[in-house]
Amino acid sequence: MTDTSRSVAGPASARATRTCGRAAGARSARSATGACAAAAARPARDARRCAGVPNLGRQPAAALVHFTPGARTAWHTHPHGQTIFVTEGVGVCQREGAAIEVIRPGDRVFFEHGENHWHGAAPNRFMAHVAMQQNDETGSPMTTGEHVSDEQYGAAPRD
């Protein structure tokens, strides 16, 4: 019998597991303006098996989200905060009461728990980011608010 936990170079310190996520899907019109799709990679019933972390009642959630030019989320909050890592393109984000920020590949943006914010692609650029957050006790990763108006979005700096 072959031991699959070892590599040719010696013992492995990590194991790859099959994805426990969903296929990519479009975001609903309730939570976004424009075309954007998310490929979620979330633990299934057994968080320890899929994510390698203990199940503390708050499931970790992650998604690779792609935005077309001008697409953006609605205003929203996360019960335990959110971190996004921009992987390609140019985007914009805004915290309620703050100026709109331009975000680029390699940028990491953290939103505090309950902090009202939005993020999306720049007006003339595609953007993708990895979003990571923890779901609340009911399994919800976010609470969606009002759409970002064209006037609000139009105040974004040009890249």
Q: What is the CA radius of gyration of the chain?
A: 18
Residue 110 forms part of a structural domain? yes
Q: How far apart are CA 147 and CA 71, in angstroms?
A: 11
- Which CATH number covers residue 114? 2.60.120.10
**Into how many domains does the chain fold?**
1
Residue 5 forms part of a structural domain? no
Q: How far apart are CA 37 and CA 127, in angstroms?
A: 11
**Residue 58 confidence (pLDDT):** 61
> What is the 8-class DSSP label of residue 4?
T
Residue 56 forms part of a structural domain? yes
Residue 112 forms part of a structural domain? yes
128 CB contacts (<8 Å, ≥6 apart)? 64, 65, 66, 67, 86, 87, 88, 89
**Residue 22 confidence (pLDDT):** 41
**Residue 8 confidence (pLDDT):** 47
Residue 103 forms part of a structural domain? yes
Residue 10 forms part of a structural domain? no
**Residue 54 confidence (pLDDT):** 44
List per-residue pLDDT tens for the chain, 159 residues long: 444 444 445 555 665 544 444 444 455 556 567 767 666 665 544 444 444 444 455 677 888 999 999 999 999 999 999 999 999 999 999 999 999 999 999 999 999 999 999 999 999 999 999 999 988 888 888 999 999 999 999 998 876
Residue 47 forms part of a structural domain? yes
Note the Cα 112 to chain centre separation in Å: 14
* 106: three-class secondary structure by DSSP: coil
Domain that holds residue 45: 16-154
Predicted model pTM: 0.71
Residue 1 forms part of a structural domain? no
